[in-house]
Amino acid sequence: MTGTGKVRIWDPFVRIFHWSLVAGFFIAYFTEDDLQTIHNWAGYLVLALVVLRIPWGFIGPRHARFSDFVRPPAVIIGHLRDLARGQARRYIGHTPAGGAMILALLGFVLLTCLSGLTVLGLEGEGPLATLKASWDPRWEDVFEEIHEVLANFTLLLVLLHIAGVLLESWLHRENLIRAMVTGDKRAEDTPEAAGRED
Ligand code: HEM
C-alpha cells in the first residue's frame, strides 16, 4: 500500500517497457515505406524490449511474472463470458483474457521482428547479412510478404488489446491507462487489502 488507498502494481521496468514498446511499434509500423533507417532502428528497439521482457516474466516482481497472469483456457473463456455479460470481476494484475493477449502480443511482435531481420539479411544488411550469399534471392519477396502479414496481424491484436483495456476500465470505473503510467491502482477489492493470495 502507498498510504493513499493505492497499491503499486506495475514496476518501473514494466511501465518503461510498455510505453517504449508502444512508441517503437507505431514508429516501425508507419515508417516501413520510405524511412527505412528509422524503421530498422524502431524494429531493433522493439525486439530488444521483448527479449528483455521474457526473463522479467520469471524474475520480476509478482504482477510482472507470467505465473501471475497466464491462466488455463477454461479460466480465460470464463472471464470472456463474464465480460460479455458485463459481470467480469476486477483483477488487480492482468485479467485472464488480458494475460492471453499479452502472450499473443509478445509472440507476434517477436515473429514480426524476426521476419524483418530475415528480409534485411536477404538484402545483405543487419545481423543476418550472410543470408544474401546463401539463400535464393526469391526468398526476399516471400519474407517481405510474411513480414507485412505479421505486422498487420499484430496491429489487429493491438487494436483488440486497446479495446479490452477500455472495456475493463469502463466496467470497473478505473483508468487502466493511467495505472500503466503511474504504476498504482486503487487498493479496495484487492487480494492485498483483503489479505488474500489471488
Ligand atoms: C496507445 C496504445 C496502447 C494503450 C493505451 C495500451 C494500454 C495498456 C494497458 C492499460 C495495459 C495494462 C493492462 C492491464 O491493466 O492489465 C497494457 C499492457 C500491455 N500492453 Fe498495451 N497499450 C497500448 C499499445 C500497446 C502496443 C502497441 C503493444 C504491443 C505492440 C502493447 C503491448 C502490451 C503488453 C505486452 C502489455 C503487458 C505489459 C506487461 O505486463 O509487461 N500495448 N497496455
Is it the case that residue 189 has pLDDT exceeding 80?
no
Residue 198 domain-assigned? Answer: no
pLDDT at 197: 47
Give the pLDDT band of residue 190 (cuts 50, 70, 90): low
**Does residue 129 surpass a pLDDT of 70?**
yes
Q: Quick check: is 197 in a domain?
A: no
pLDDT of residue 177 exceeding 70, the answer is: yes
Task: Say which CATH number the domain at 172 has.
Answer: 1.20.950
- Domain span holding position 117: 6-187
Kindly state whether residue 192 falls inside one of the protein's structural domains. Answer: no
Residue 91 lies in a domain: yes
Alpha helices in the chain (DSSP H): 12-30, 36-59, 66-69, 73-84, 96-122, 131-134, 139-171, 176-182, 191-194
Q: Is 158 in the pocket of ligand 1 (CB under 6 A)?
A: yes
**Choice from 10, 150, 161, 181 to test ligand 1 binding pocket (greatest atom count within 8 A of CB):** 161
Q: What confidence tens digit (pLDDT) does each residue in 26-56 have?
A: 999 999 878 999 999 999 999 999 999 999 9
With respect to residue 135, please indicate whether it lies within any of the assigned structural domains: yes
In a domain, 100, yes or no: yes
The verdict on the CB of residue 177 being under 6 Å from ligand 1 is yes
Other C-beta atoms lying within 10 Å of the C-beta of residue 198? 11
Q: What is the pLDDT of residues 98-110, one digit of tens each?
A: 999 999 999 999 9
Candidate of 180, 184, 186, 190 to mutate for ligand 1, largest count of ligand atoms within 8 Å of Cβ: 180
81-93 confidence digits (pLDDT tens)? 999 998 889 999 9
**Distance of CA 125 from the midpoint of ligand 1 (Å):** 31
Residue 196, pLDDT > 60, answer no
| Ligand 1 centre distance from Cα of residue 161 (Å) | 7
Strand 184-186 relative to strand 6-8, pairing = antiparallel
Task: Kindly state whether residue 25 falls inside one of the protein's structural domains.
Answer: yes
193 within domain boundaries = no
d(Cα 151, Cα 139) in Å, to the nearest integer? Answer: 18
162 lines ligand 1 (CB under 6 A): yes
Q: How many domains does the chain have?
A: 1
Q: How far apart are CA 174 and CA 6, in angstroms?
A: 12
